[in-house]
Structure 1
C-alpha cells in the first residue's frame, strides 16, 4: 500500500523531553569508538571553551529517532516498517549537545515520492532545548519502503 501523500506538510506534536546525561555521552562515544577527550573529559572540554563535555555529532540520533518514529509508526500514514531501509540521515547543529540539556523534537513530513516501486519519505526533526527553548539541531532523514508503491519498476 502506498504512503498517504496528504501527510506532506504534517507536523507532529513535540516529543517528551530527553535529558542528556554526561555518562550517556561517554557511553555513546565508547560505543562508536571515538576517544575524543571533548566527549569524555570535562576539564578538556572546558579548556576548549565548552561548559562541559559535548556529545559526538551522531549522538543526536538518540533524540531524533523517537521523533522520527512518530511518523514511522503512524498507522494512518501507511508505512510498512518491515520493508524500510534507512536511506539518509543528516544533522545540522546550531550548538553542541551538553549534559543537562532537555531536548524534544517536532517532526515535519517534508516529502513523499515514489521511485522504482518504492515509497520514499523525507522527514525533518527540529530539536530544541526546554519548552520552546533554543534550537539545537535539525535532523533530516529519508526512509525507503521497498516495493510498497503502486508504481512498478520498469
Structure 2
C-alpha cells in the first residue's frame, strides 16, 4: 500500500445531485420512519418545509453517488477485501429538501494507524451546500485492515 499520509488534504472530485421524492419516501419507509413529514408533501409543507425533508442519514446515500467512489483506495493499492466500515459522523447546519441541488465537496482529512499498523484509518470529510449555504458536514472513516493470506 502506498503512503496514505501523502493524500491528507487532497480534494476529491466534487459533484452535484438532487434528492428525488420517491427515493426519500422509500428511504423513510425502509427506516421505519413514521413521521408523515418524510413521506407526505402536505405534511412537510405544514411543518414549514418547501418539500419533503431529507431523513437524517440520507446525505450519506447521496454521497455514495460521487464519481469514482473507490478511486483513492485504488490509487493507494488497497485490496477491497481489506475494507471495513469504520464510522459516520454528521454535522447538520440546515435542512435539505427534495428537489434542491446539493453540492458535495469531499476531501481526505486524516490518516492514522492502530495495533502496530494492523488497522489503518482513512478519514474523508465532505461539505454539502445548497446555493452556497452550508447544509452539512459528513465525516466517514474507512478502516483498512491487514489481510492475512494463507
Structures share a fold, TM > 0.5?
Answer: yes
Match of 1:39 in 2: 38
In the TM superposition, residue 67 of structure 1 has moved relative to its aligned partner by 4.0
5+ residue gaps, structure 1, are 149-154
Asked whether the 8 Å contact 2:19–2:100 carries over to 1, the reply is yes
Match of 1:53 in 2: 52
Match of 1:151 in 2: none
In 2, Cα distance between equivalents of 1:36 and 1:91: 21
Match of 2:119 in 1: 118
5+ residue gaps, structure 2, are none
From the superposition, tell whether residues 114 and 69 of structure 1 become closer, same or farther in structure 2 (CA, over 3 Å): farther
Tell me which stretches of 4 or more aligned residues in structure 1 moved more than 4 Å.
none
Match of 1:91 in 2: 90
In the TM superposition, residue 69 of structure 1 has moved relative to its aligned partner by 5.8
Asked whether the 8 Å contact 1:107–1:126 carries over to 2, the reply is yes
From the superposition, tell whether residues 84 and 118 of structure 1 become closer, same or farther in structure 2 (CA, over 3 Å): same
In the TM superposition, residue 138 of structure 1 has moved relative to its aligned partner by 0.7
In 1, Cα distance between equivalents of 2:55 and 2:145: 31
In 2, Cα distance between equivalents of 1:83 and 1:141: 16
Any residues of structure 2 matched to 1:6-17 within 5 Å, and which? 6-15=6-15, 17=16
Aligned residue pairs total 144
Any residues of structure 2 matched to 1:108-147 within 5 Å, and which? 108-116=107-115, 117-130=118-131, 133-147=132-146
Task: Give the superposed CA RMSD.
Answer: 1.9
